């Protein structure tokens, strides 16, 4: 197996490709292969990449693997039968170094949306709130979304999931504020192509989230408005 990596020394540096042969393809993830290369051929100049849990739980290791946004700890070498794997940083976020990107725009958007949970929050083990709460904030959905770009008004599915979690339970003033934010930063910009659904490593059912959140935050609201 040949592993090609698109590297860059710093945000302003020119990207370049390095390539290494890797022998062990049995039950090895891209994450493990990166570790092995970093302690071997790249020991003097390790490839930078973000990771924490290595169990598909933190979302930190998202990168482009043969052009598709995926989690490195959930991509197995044996899946790639063509003999070559190309690793690149996500393209919708600024590169920090090598495969590491700065995803702070995604977290800033959540703050703008007010999408955080209070101490008393809980979720049943089924339903929209539970499904939405599985979001890893990896950013893979933003990578494939045709309408998302950093700094834009449209926040994409990385915001839809937490917003849906809250919309499912919101009441009173919080309900009004959330519905307004959802309309402005998600509903009006989403083309409903559902490319985000097909790429989400957590397997979140975006279609259900969209249907439920649109029903609560848009259609119910319009209907209420007409009745007045
Ligand atoms: S449905 Fe399409 S436009 Fe809407 S968030 Fe998903 S990928 Fe983006
Ligand atoms: S919705 Fe899915 S793809 Fe998007 S950030 Fe959450 S876990 Fe990642
Ligand atoms: S390292 Fe946490 S999801 Fe891959």
- On whether the CB atoms of residues 37 and 20 are closer than 8 A, the answer is yes
57 CA: nearest ligand 3 atom = 3
Q: Is the CB of 215 under 6 A from ligand 3?
A: no
Question: Which ligand lies nearest to the CA atom of residue 147 in the structure?
Answer: 1
- Taking alpha carbons only, the member of 220, 199, 161, 171 closest to residue 62 is 199
Written as tens digits, the pLDDT of the chain (228 aa) is 999 999 999 999 999 999 999 998 789 999 999 999 999 999 999 999 999 999 999 999 999 999 999 999 999 999 998 999 999 999 999 999 999 999 999 999 988 887 776 677 666 666 777 888 889 999 999 999 999 999 999 999 998 888 887 887 777 777 788 888 888 898 889 998 899 999 999 999 889 888 888 887 776 666 565 544
73 CA: nearest ligand 3 atom = 4
Mutating to test ligand 2, I would choose from 74, 204, 207 the residue with most ligand atoms within 8 A of its C-beta, which is 204
pLDDT at 226: 54
Q: How far is the CA of 200 from the centre of ligand 1 (A)?
A: 12
Please report, for residues 64, 132, 212, the alpha-carbon distance to residue 144 in angstroms, rounded to integers and kept in the order given: 11, 19, 22
pLDDT at 116: 72
pLDDT at 221: 62
Distance (Å, rounded) from C-alpha 87 to C-alpha 4? 6
Question: What residues does ligand 2 touch, defined as CB less than 6 Å away?
Answer: 59, 135-141, 157-158, 161, 200-202, 204
pLDDT at 125: 63
pLDDT at 112: 87
- Domains detected in the chain: 2-101 (3.10.20.30), 104-227 (1.10.1060.10)
142 CA: nearest ligand 2 atom = 4
pLDDT at 224: 62
């Amino acid at each position: 197996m040949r592993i090609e990596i698109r590297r860059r020394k710093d945000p302003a540096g020119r990207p370049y490709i390095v390539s290494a042969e890797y022998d062990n393809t049995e039950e090895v993830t891209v994450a493990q292969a990166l570790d092995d290369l970093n302690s071997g051929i790249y020991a003097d100049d390790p490839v930078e990449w973000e990771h924490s849990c290595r169990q598909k739980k933190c979302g930190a290791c998202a990168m482009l693997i043969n052009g598709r946004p995926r989690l490195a700890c959930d991509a197995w070498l044996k899946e790639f039968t063509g003999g070559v794997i190309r690793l690149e940083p996500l393209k919708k976020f600024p590169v920090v170094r090598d495969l590491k990107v700065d995803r702070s725009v995604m977290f800033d958007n959540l703050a703008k949306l007010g999408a955080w949970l209070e101490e008393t929050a809980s979720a049943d083990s089924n339903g929209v709130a539970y499904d939405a709460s599985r979001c890893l904030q990896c950013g893979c959905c933003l990578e494939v979304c045709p309408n998302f770009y950093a700094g834009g008004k449209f926040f994409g599915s990385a915001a839809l999931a937490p917003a849906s979690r809250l919309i499912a339970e919101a009441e009173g003033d919080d309900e009004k504020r959330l519905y307004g934010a959802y309309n402005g930063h998600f509903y009006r910009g989403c083309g409903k192509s559902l490319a985000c659904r097909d790429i989400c490593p957590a397997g979140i059912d975006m279609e259900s989230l969209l249907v439920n959140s649109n029903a609560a935050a848009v259609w119910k609201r319009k209907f209420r408005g007409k009745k007045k």
